[in-house]
Each structure stands twice: as structure tokens, then as C-alpha cells.
Chains A and B, each alone.
Chain A
């Protein structure tokens, strides 16, 4: 059941998929400079800057309404935004949302967003919608090895799964796109503590395979335990940026987000 056990997902890297980016050495995989997003006249994100290196896990923590989800949506090109967004050396603003997956940029949307009236297997197939290689079936098998719960429910409609299983499916579906950067929006939302542990075990497993993860979480302690670096967001701005260990020890973070 452990995430590391059969997780051979990153072996995919050696295969001829559209992964060769024009990224110069030393540049972060994702670089955000002065991102601004307006939501119906209200400035939800007021010029934030941050970066995610290749293979690194970065958390974006903060209270409800701080602008975390808006940030992810803007990065995924689901919301119009201003500022410079560079992913893999390319300008994200020049790409439509559907062109991101094939460049290894995958979003697991807030509230999971599984296709309720499609089976588990069909959901996984949709994750590989942009792929035309012959290894899709193998990758589905890999997901089933990684998440035996999903295998048991392979033919069940996704809408009939429990919340935690749907979250697993949503992550697995994103992995089917063979991402280099995985954006997770509140993966712990609405789940029982035991299930939250399982989901984070899965996320750590994915990160251990070299996938860069940008994790948006309200559960700050879990996020900081999982990430190597983190940014704290408050009403549309980044107020703190440090390594996860330093932030865990920071009295301000402890008081505001860790309940100490």
C-alpha cells in the first residue's frame, strides 16, 4: 500500500514524450512574477511572486479567501491575470488551458472534479486525453498498483466513490498526463483524518519520483511537513516565504496557522 513500493511512474521520463523543454539551466520550472488577478472588480491576488524548482515540493498556505485557489486557477489559465508567468521557459499567458497538460503541467482542481458519470477507468483515460502513445493502458495499470482501492472500483462510476477515493482518482487522473509539475488545490478538503494521511502519503510518493508539486492547503501543518519550502498568503499578498522547517518554527506561523 506504501506509495514508494511500485511507483515506477517517473521511469516514463526516458520515453519519447513531449517533455524536452527549452528551459535554460538554472531557471526554475515555474517562475511567477508580480501576478495580479481580479475577480469581478475585486483584487484577489495583488502582485505576488514565487517560484517552483524542478522536482521540488512547494506549499502555498493561508486562510480561507487569501487567494490561494485564485492563484492556482490563474496559473492554469482558467482565470485571466496580469504579471509574468514562466513555465519551463515559456510564457504561460501565451498558452490556452488545454495546452498545458501536454507540457507536463497538471492541475488537480479544488473539489476534486472527477467525472461523476464516468467509470474510474474512464476517468483515468481522460487524464491521458492528450497522449497518443501506446502506454496509456500500462499507466492505468500502474495507477491501479499504486492505488488498489481504485482497482477494486475500476468499473464503478466515479460519483459513487467516497470523497477520499475521489481525491485519489483526481490525483491519479492528473498523473496520467505524466506531469513534471503537479498543482494540487486543497487535497485534504472535506476528508476524514485517516484519509488525509493516505492522500498526503500519495503526494509524497509522487514528489519522491521527481515530480515538482505546488500544494495549496489550508491544513498548514500537513502542508509544511510535506513541502520543502512554503509561502504564506494573506489577503492576496505573500507575507512570508521560507523553508518549511523555518516556517514550522516561526512563532507568527505557529500562532496564526498551527494553533500553538
Chain B
């Protein structure tokens, strides 16, 4: 009973914190930070989707951003002046998830026999193919508007007025993102503990033994690709409506690597870890970009290094440090933690 109450209290506390967070950030730091908060939520959804493929099923996917792109373009094509279509959000998002999921299967089907490095290369190629298609599908029929991208996309929300108090659309978007991110968190948590979740772990561990246990490895792998991709598709749709502009260059390899870093840095396979990874890797570079210039000014009297170029450098250093001192990630799952500890023990005794 007590544990139950404690759990309810914990959930309520998180709920209240999430409800008032935008006001604290928005009032205290301004709308730029509100945008960042919204972006962090988008990346949480993306990272949780990739976590299903990489963290649960152990399939290294370097082209994950392609599904984000698919979701974004579905939204852009169906809710912009480009085709003159203006579908509502609630019709587009499920469609985006569905189409992205189908693309996930499309990637999964020919790569079923591949693992590790080989799979990584093929998925990397797949991600680039999608991006190049988006870049070139402006002729003979203009579908994607090519490298110029699609502008003027319908916004997710408008500024509104409640009781004479003006509320910026960023706040409404925040609540939409929080709701969908929570939905994805709950679905992922349920999946992790499900029969399917155990099958994913089994395949990651030993595919032959998994088959010998009666797991239909083909279908289970395809499901991992499809589910991960559909989360990416939802996030992509939200991204398009949030930015009101999409172009192929938002979906390059670097973005795929960034999302993968969130999963690995936070703690592969562990939901709180992945969330933490997404938040840290969204907020830290931004913090840095804002502070690195003024800090150099204060310390040395002039700016030696452009903060933008230093951002990648520090990002790399941070990754190396984490991999050196916390290879299992910032918040590892108990499974991974035990594995690393066991490996360390063996290293000592042998």
C-alpha cells in the first residue's frame, strides 16, 4: 500500500513539474529556451524510438533519421501551400507514424541477415538514399521541392489568449510534445516488459538460440524496425509543424549520429537513461553556444575560437570522456550494468 501511494505521489509530482516547467523556463530565460525545451522533447521521442532498435533489439541503425525525415515530409506535404493541402494534425501524425513504420520494414526486410558493422553500413546508406531522394524529387514532378525545401507549413498551434493573458504558441506546443513524449515513454516501458521485449533481448544475445526457443526472429526484428521508425515518424511530423519549414539538409548523417549518441551516452536500453541522454545532448551544446563567446571575452578580452566550431570539439571530448569513464552510459539499465561489472571482474581475475 505504502509503495503504491509513493508511486502515485511520484507520478503526481512529475506531472506538476512538467506542467509548470514551461512557465519557469519561459518567464525566467525567454522564448529561446522554450524552443529548446520543445526540441529536447522531440529528441526524447526520437531517441526512445531508436532505443527500441539499438537498445532493445541490438540492431545498430545509422540511418534512423530517415524515418524522422519521412514523418516530417508527410506533414509538410499534407499541411502546406505546396500542394494546397491543409490536413489536421490528428490525421497526419498517425499517417506519418504508419508510413514511417512501413519504411522501417522496407529497411528491415533486406537487412534481416545482417548484424553489427554490416547492418550499420547498410542502414547508413538507406538514410542517405532517403535524403538524396528528398533532394531530387523536384523533377520531373515536383513532389518535395528539392533542396529549397518546403516552407509555410501549417503551424502546430497559434498564440492564444486565456483570461486576457497572452500565451505564446510555444507553450501549447510544449504541452502537445509532453503528452506525446509521455505516450511514447509509456508504450516503450510496456514493450520492454512484454513478451516481445524479451524476444528482442534474446535475439540481441544469441539469434540461433532465439530461433531454437521458437522466436520468429524475422517478424520480431521487422517489428523492432517498424516500431522504432514509427516513433521517428511522429517526431518528424511534429518537427515539421514546429519549424514550419523542412529541407533535406535537416536529415543528414550527423543527425542520425546525434540521436545514436543520445541513446549510447544516456544508457542503451534504459528508458530514463535515454531521456537523460536526449536532454543533455540538446541542452548542453546550446548552453555552450550561448556562454562560450562571452566567457572568452571575460577571461581573455577577446574571442579566440568561434563558439560554433568549438561546440563540436567539446561534444567530441564529452563523448570520449563518457566512454572512458562510464562506458555503460550515464544511467545504464541494470542488465547492462551487471554485464559491464562482470566483464570488469573477469578482467581482474584472469
Which A residues form the contact surface with B (CB < 8 A)? Answer: 76, 78, 96-102, 106-109, 113-118, 122, 125-127, 129-130, 157, 159-160, 170, 173-174, 177
Contact = CB atoms under 8 A, between A and B. Distances in A.
15 contacts: A97-B211, A98-B211, A109-B209, A115-B210, A117-B201, A117-B336, A117-B339, A118-B201, A118-B202, A125-B198, A129-B199, A159-B339, A160-B342, A174-B212, A177-B213
A97 B335 CA distance: 28
Contacts of A107: 212
Contacts of B195: 129
Contact of B208 (A109, A118, A159): A109
Nearest to A103: B214
Given A96-B216, A122-B198, A160-B342, A117 B335 contact: yes
Contact of B213 (A116, A160, A173): A173
Nearest to A73: B208
Nearest to A173: B213
Contacts of B253: none
A126 B216 CA distance: 13
Interface string B211-232: 1111111000000000000000
B320 interface: no
B208 A113 contact: yes
A126 B211 contact: no
Contact of A159 (B199, B201, B212, B342): B342
A24 to B, nearest CB: 26
Contacts of B208: 78, 109, 113
Contacts of B211: 76, 78, 97-98
B205 interface: yes
A129 B338 contact: no
B161 interface: no
A106 B205 contact: no
A192 to B, nearest CB: 17
B202 A115 contact: yes
B214 A116 contact: no
A101 B212 contact: yes
Interface string B327-348: 0000000011011001000000
